Amino acid sequence: MTQVIDGKLVAGDVVSQVKQATSKLVAETGVTPGLAVIIVGDDPASHVYVNSKSRMAKECGFKSVQHTLPAETTQEELEALVASLNEDPSIHGILVQLPLPKHLKSEPVIQSILPQKDVDGLHVVNAGKLATGDLETGLVSCTPAGAMVFVRRIHGEDLSGLNAVVIGRSNLFGKPMAQLLLNANATVTIAHSRTKDLPILCRTADILVAAVGRTQMVKGDWVKPGATVIDVGINRIAAPEKGEGKTRLVGDVDYAEAEKVAGAITPVPGGVGPMTIAMLMANTAKSAYRAAGKAAPRF
C-alpha cells in the first residue's frame, strides 16, 4: 500500500514545534523571534503568499512586520529598507517576496540581507555553508528543507546505502536538495534536461525528487518499485471537467501512474507546498535562538 505523504499534516507538526520553541525562547531569554516581509507592487499571487506568511508568523508567536512598497519603488529605496532591517536587533528574519517588479534587480537585494537573517536561505554564504556540510550555523532554503523533512520521516536520519536522484539543478531547489541528501549519506545523482537515458537513471532511485518544471514528465515506469517520490513541480493544466476555462494543479510526476509503483509519494497540491511556509517559520526561530546565543533547535 503506497503511503501518500500529507504535507499539511507534517507542516502542522513542524509549526507546532516552532510554537513550542518560541515559547521556550521567550521564557528563557525574553527574546521574541521577529520576521519582516517586504513586498513591492501589487501582484495578487504575491500578496496572497505574503499574507499567509505574516499570518503564520503571528500564529507562531513571532513579531511580524510587513512592509508593502509601491510598484515604483527604486532599487536604492528597497536596499535602504533591507539595510535598516539588518540593523534592527528585534528582526531575526528578512524575506523579500519574489518576483520583484521588472525594473528592480532581485539578486543584489537578496545578497544585501545579512546571512544570519536570510530565512529564505538564498544568500551565497548560506549556499556555501550547505555545500560544505555546515548545517549548524547556516540557513537552508525552505522548500528543499521541507522536502528533506519528508525523506527523514520515511527513511530516518541516515540514508547510507540509498540511491537518490534529483531531477533539476536550480540554485533554489535542485542543488540544495542534492546537498541535503548527500549530507545524510545518500548516494546522489543530479539529473536535468540534458541527462541521457533519464528514465533508466530514475529507476535506480530509492528516493526520486522531481523539480524540473515539466507537467507530469515522470511516468510510472520511471519509478523503482517501493521508491519514495517527492514531487516539487507546480504546473497548471486545463480542467474542463470543472467547467469551461477552469484549471487544476499537477506536479512533475504523473501521480496516477507513479502512485501504483511508489512506496511513498507526495501529492500536488498538498505535498511539498505547505512545508515551505512551515520551514520559513523554523528558520526564523533558528535565527532568533542563535541571536540570543543559544543552540538552535532542529525541526
Residue 193: predicted pLDDT:
82
Q: Are 133 and 298 in contact (CB under 8 A)?
A: no
97 included as an active-site residue:
yes
Domain boundary at 114, 129, 160, which? 114
Residue 82 located in a structural domain = yes
Task: Give pTM, 2 decimals.
Answer: 0.94
Q: Same structural domain for residues 163 and 100?
A: no
Q: Same structural domain for residues 110 and 149?
A: no
C-alpha span between 14 and 56 (Å, rounded): 12
Q: Same structural domain for residues 92 and 182?
A: no
Residue 17 located in a structural domain = no
C-alpha span between 287 and 231 (Å, rounded): 28
175 included as an active-site residue:
no
Residues 6+ away with beta carbon under 8 Å from 39:
46, 47, 50, 66, 67, 68, 69, 97
C-alpha span between 16 and 92 (Å, rounded): 19
Residue 242: predicted pLDDT:
85
Query: What CATH number does residue 78 fall under?
Result: 3.40.50.10860
Burial (CB count <10 Å: 0-12, 13-18, 19+), residue 170: middle
Low-confidence ranges of the chain (pLDDT < 70): none
Residue 241: predicted pLDDT:
86
Q: Would you say 169 is a known binding-site residue?
A: yes
Q: Would you say 16 is a known binding-site residue?
A: no
Structural domain for 158, as ranges: 142-274
* pLDDT digits 0-9 by tens, 135-165: 999 999 999 999 999 999 999 999 999 999 9
Burial (CB count <10 Å: 0-12, 13-18, 19+), residue 107: exposed
Q: Which residue has the cell 514531487?
A: 231
Burial (CB count <10 Å: 0-12, 13-18, 19+), residue 106: middle
Residue 40 located in a structural domain = yes
Residue 208 located in a structural domain = yes
C-alpha span between 256 and 266 (Å, rounded): 12
C-alpha span between 171 and 106 (Å, rounded): 14
Residue 121: predicted pLDDT:
96
Q: Same structural domain for residues 237 and 161?
A: yes
C-alpha span between 214 and 228 (Å, rounded): 19
3-class state of residue 163 by DSSP: strand
13 included as an active-site residue:
no
Residue 64: predicted pLDDT:
96
Considering the candidates 17, 116, 118, 120, report the single residue annotated as catalytic: 120
Residue 89: predicted pLDDT:
98
Q: How many domains does the structure of the chain reveal? A: 2
* pLDDT digits 0-9 by tens, 177-191: 999 999 999 999 999
C-alpha span between 184 and 176 (Å, rounded): 13
Q: Would you say 168 is a known binding-site residue?
A: yes
Q: Same structural domain for residues 171 and 236?
A: yes
Q: Same structural domain for residues 148 and 82?
A: no
Q: Are 125 and 138 in contact (CB under 8 A)?
A: yes
Residue 5 located in a structural domain = no
Q: Would you say 245 is a known binding-site residue?
A: no
C-alpha span between 177 and 166 (Å, rounded): 8
Residue 41 located in a structural domain = yes
- Long-range Cβ contacts of 17-23 (<8 Å, 24+ apart): 17/282, 17/297, 17/299, 18/60, 18/278, 18/281, 18/282, 18/285, 18/299, 19/59, 19/60, 19/61, 21/285, 21/289, 21/297, 21/299, 22/60, 22/61, 22/62, 22/285, 22/288, 23/61
3-class state of residue 84 by DSSP: helix
Q: Same structural domain for residues 101 and 203?
A: no
Q: Same structural domain for residues 89 and 149?
A: no
